[in-house]
Structure 1
Amino acid sequence: MKALLGLAVAVILALTAAGINAALPRNQTGPEPAEGKTTQVRVTAVVDGDTIRVETRGGRQLGRVRLLGIDAPEVAHPPEPAECYADQATDLLEELAPVGSTVELVTDTAQPNRDRYDRLVRYVDHDGLDVARELLAGGAARRYEADQALAREESYSATADDAQGTERGLWGTCREPGDRSWTSS
């Protein structure tokens, strides 16, 4: 009887696991993404439309932080000119996370701690607002397709789709012939 019960439990677990794996996106192989640790820091500089510099509240430099889940147009890197809407994206980030303000950095359990440029990769919240979501809503950035799903995936996708559908920001501005296309960085 115990052997039969053990077999039934094993079959149920296998079928449950198969059902869970079938329901996950192809790129989702680990646990469900979730928000993790939150740290309060001070913004010391806005680098471009998706990167800030921060320090601890005690003044220790933490370096650059890449906003998780978005990609903003690149600022000028001579001899390359700025991409279309780069200045507007940077300006909006400066409004949303002003230099000197305290922001919350939030980890995502399914995402790496740092990117290939050694920047911290975090959600950034300021005064109750998700800064990346606001950049998406304003059309100042597009979704960055990560290898793993994001904890804020649903919100970011819907917001980006809305901005693109209504041609806000870069979606309505960067369509002229000769505009330099922009890619993920």
Structure 2
Amino acid sequence: MPGHLARLLLALALGCATLSSVASPSYAADKDCGDFATQAAAQGYFLDKGGPRRDPDRLDSDGDGVACESNPCPCSTAQSGSGADAPPDVKRQRARIVRVSDGDTVVARLSRNGLEVKVRLLGIDTPEVFGGVECGGRAASRTTKHLLPRGTRVTLVSDPTQDLRDRYGRLLRYVMKGSTDIDQRLVRRGRARVYVYDDDPFRRVKAYRAAARKARAAGLGLWGSC
């Protein structure tokens, strides 16, 4: 009898161990943005894990529904399904202007979550006012401040052909005030030059270059004074 009892107890112990191993979930290690080769791959994983409503790995640092925005492209801002192989799409964010830093950089507060973000106006470059004032720099800053006073409602629009952020972490966006493209308006007034980064033309480059040619021919802004 003691032998039978011992075997019974051993069988019960083995059964409990088996059930415990089956019932205990195995948790995958937390992911961070460095685990993904591209932003699109991170976005696909983020969506598969319940994003944008859930973000257990904290890949969406600013809560805008886009994971690992500083990762290299291919990029995706898809909000449903697996985004790993999804083509890049246009991202629109409503915001209010907080302040203008210089002619081509502003600080805006996102309407969705109240987060303040630095925005580099896409496709243009204005003369510098920091680290040495360049000809036309102060005038460009004044024009941008006039076009975008504090509290102005804007829409920040991404370009699928460009990165979502620059190397300084600023959002790369067209800044739309109603139907007015502020980036292009600065070019038309001669306050900004067209800027193509790394020989990778943005979608609106033809319209911007046409505006620049007209401003230069008319001697507007920096074309007439610098």
Normalising by structure 1, what TM-score? Answer: 0.71
Give 1:59 shift.
Answer: 6.1
- Give the aligned residue type for 1:114: R
Number of paired residues?
Answer: 140
Q: Where in structure 1 are there 5+ consecutive unaligned residues?
A: 1-29, 175-185
Please list the CA deviations of residues 69-115 of structure 1 after superposition, one character each: whole Å capped at 9, or x if unmatched: 000000133xx3x1111111011111212211110000100100111
User: Which residue pairs with 1:121 in the alignment?
Assistant: 172
- SS of corresponding position for 2:90: strand
- SS of corresponding position for 2:197: coil
Q: Of Structure 1 and Structure 2, which has the larger fraction of its residues in strand? A: 1
User: Which residue pairs with 1:75 in the alignment?
Assistant: 129
Please list the CA deviations of residues 36-81 of structure 1 after superposition, one character each: whole Å capped at 9, or x if unmatched: 121110110100000000112256233210000000000133xx3x
Q: Is the 8 A contact 1:35 1:151 kept in 2?
A: no
Please list the CA deviations of residues 104-147 of structure 1 after superposition, one character each: whole Å capped at 9, or x if unmatched: 00010010011111110000010310001110010001011223
**CA distance in 2 between partners of 1:60 and 1:40 (Å):** 10
CA 59–42 in structure 1, closer or farther in 2 if over 3 Å, else same: farther
User: Which residue pairs with 1:23 in the alignment?
Assistant: none
Q: Is the 8 A contact 1:35 1:106 kept in 2?
A: no
User: Which residue pairs with 1:110 in the alignment?
Assistant: 161
User: Which residue pairs with 2:206 in the alignment?
Assistant: 154
**CA distance in 1 between partners of 2:165 and 2:119 (Å):** 9
Give 1:35 shift.
Answer: 6.9
Quote the RMSD (CA, aligned, Å): 1.9
CA 40–149 in structure 1, closer or farther in 2 if over 3 Å, else same: same
**CA distance in 1 between partners of 2:112 and 2:89 (Å):** 25
Q: Where in structure 2 are there 5+ consecutive unaligned residues?
A: 1-73, 75-87
Q: Is the 8 A contact 2:94 2:112 kept in 1?
A: no
Point out the structure with max Rg over C-alpha: 2
Higher relative contact order (Cα pairs below 8 Å, separated by 6+ residues) = 1
Q: Is the 8 A contact 2:110 2:117 kept in 1?
A: no
Normalising by structure 2, what TM-score? Answer: 0.58
Identity between Structure 1 and Structure 2 (%)? 39
